[in-house]
């Protein structure tokens, strides 16, 4: 709906702009075309009047009768006043001697002296056009004729006058205006229709581009939302891990206090060689573990893990060194810095590399431990104990 309103406002704006341009442009073009048309006709009428004056002068100089010459001319121009431009003959007093309308013979010609003087100096068609426009309302429905040029006949008192039938010119100008307005109307309709189509096509392409951009942006927003969700989940997980670590540390403190109460001499957990069990913990629970159930002990990230034969895993507050020094050395072996293994947990011993050994523990534990070259001899000796 918003798009349709936008297109409608666009078409209306184009229509208003074109209407304003058409009103201003049509007025200018009509006047320019009328001036050009009148200028051509004025020059033609002047030339025609001068030629007729020369012809009459030639006839009179050949001793032709003046009355006969004027009578022949009257016969020739009779009825031509219906044309836009015609010729008449005046005497020096301005009386009509030959005129297309015989009923007006003998009348005094009333012409615009200012216009006549102006046209004698130059072909000022703009003045004539202004006169036509200004006098049209006053002479509506009447025949209005104006003299635009006079050519004297030598050795006589006769003047050949070039006349313009303003009423006929006015009709031509009205027809010219109608033609111009019709052309501008058709051009306006064509421009508005083509502009509307162009706006529609361009708008559709732009909307398609915006839609694709919006889809891409929406996809990016969804991806960002997923990333934010993952980040929140990760943060919650880390907080949970920190809480568990805090609980483990709290349990370790409790265990340490218990050990301190039972030993009265140590601050960390130490397993006595003759003891049958050790105290470990799982999360915040204290769990006693029988030593003969331990498959191996290892350290990771400074935490000591105790793994049973059944795969259960717990943690201890004692270091790996403390564990090993208090285990029975005939049953447990320090394989490397990370592992202590029980002899009962060994499933296979495989040569690994040139002088190393790989210890495969039983299937429940599912762990492989590498014994270095330096430890291999010690391990073999431990097995022979």
- Give how many domains the chain has, as a whole number: 2
Encoding tokens for residue 211? 């839609």
Domain membership flag for residue 235: no
Domain end point (choices 190, 225, 242): 190
Instruction: Judge whether 255 lies within some domain.
Output: no
The set of residues, in sequence order, having a beta carbon less than 8 Å from that of 139 and lying 6+ positions away, is 166, 167
- Domain-ending residue, one of 190, 223, 241: 190
pLDDT of residue 270: 43
Based on the fold, state whether residues 7 and 107 are members of the same structural domain: yes
Check if the beta carbon of residue 156 is closer than 8 Å to that of residue 53.
no
Range of the domain at 121: 2-190
For the chain, give the percent of residues with pLDDT over 70.
78
Instruction: Tell me, yes or no, whether 183 and 292 share the same domain.
Output: no
Both tokens assigned to 374: 């330096």
DSSP at 312: -
Does the global pTM surpass 0.85? no
Read off the pLDDT of each residue in 34-44 and give the average, rounded to a whole number: 81
- pLDDT tens column, 184-231: 788 888 888 887 788 778 877 877 887 888 787 777 778 777 766 766
User: Do 184 and 281 reside in the same domain of the chain?
Assistant: no
Domain ends where: 169, 190, 211? 190
Which residues make beta-bridge pairs with 355?
A: none
**Confidence label for 297 from pLDDT (cuts 50, 70 and 90):** very high
Q: How far is CA 6 from CA 204, 206, 212, in A?
A: 12, 14, 21
In CATH, what number is assigned to the domain containing residue 118?
3.30.450
- Give yes or no: residues 10 and 121 share one domain: yes
Q: Where residue 237 falls among pLDDT bands split at 50, 70, 90?
A: confident
CATH of the domain at 332: 2.40.50.40
The predicted-structure confidence for 303-339, as pLDDT tens digits, reads as follows: 899 999 888 889 988 888 888 887 888 889 998 889 9
């Amino acid at each position: 709906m918003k798009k349709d309103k936008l297109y409608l406002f666009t078409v209306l704006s184009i229509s208003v702009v074109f209407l304003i341009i058409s009103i201003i442009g049509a007025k200018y073009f009509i006047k320019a075309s009328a001036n050009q048309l009148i200028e051509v006709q004025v020059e033609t009428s002047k030339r025609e009047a001068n030629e007729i004056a020369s012809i009459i002068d030639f006839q009179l100089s050949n001793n032709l009768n003046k009355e006969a010459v004027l009578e022949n001319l009257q016969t020739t121009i009779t009825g031509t006043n219906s044309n836009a431009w015609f010729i008449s003959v005046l005497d020096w007093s301005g009386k009509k001697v030959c005129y297309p309308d015989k009923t007006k013979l003998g009348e005094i010609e009333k012409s615009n002296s200012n216009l006549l003087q102006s046209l004698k100096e130059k072909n000022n068609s703009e003045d004539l056009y202004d006169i036509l426009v200004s006098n049209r309302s006053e002479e509506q429905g009447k025949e209005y004729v104006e003299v635009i040029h006079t050519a004297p006949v030598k050795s006589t008192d006769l003047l050949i006058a070039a006349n313009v039938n303003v009423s006929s010119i006015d009709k031509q100008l009205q027809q010219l205006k109608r033609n111009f307005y019709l052309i501008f109307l058709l051009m306006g309709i064509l421009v508005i229709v083509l502009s509307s189509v162009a706006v529609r096509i361009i708008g559709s392409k732009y909307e398609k581009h915006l839609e694709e951009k919006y889809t891409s942006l929406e996809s990016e927003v969804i991806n960002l939302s997923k990333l934010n969700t993952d980040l929140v989940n990760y943060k919650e997980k880390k907080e949970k891990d920190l809480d568990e670590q805090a609980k483990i540390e709290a349990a370790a403190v409790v265990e340490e206090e218990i050990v301190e109460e039972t030993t009265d001499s140590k601050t960390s957990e130490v397993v006595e060689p003759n003891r049958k069990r050790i105290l470990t913990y799982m999360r915040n629970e204290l769990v006693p573990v029988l030593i003969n159930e331990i498959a191996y002990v290892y350290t990771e990230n400074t935490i000591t893990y105790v793994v049973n034969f059944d795969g259960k895993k717990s943690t201890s507050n004692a270091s790996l060194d403390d564990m090993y020094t208090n285990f029975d050395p005939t049953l447990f072996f320090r394989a490397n810095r990370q592992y202590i293994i029980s002899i009962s947990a060994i499933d296979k011993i495989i040569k690994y590399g040139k002088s190393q050994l790989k210890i495969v523990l039983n299937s429940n534990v599912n762990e492989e431990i590498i014994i270095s070259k330096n430890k291999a001899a010690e391990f073999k000796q431990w097995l022979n104990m």
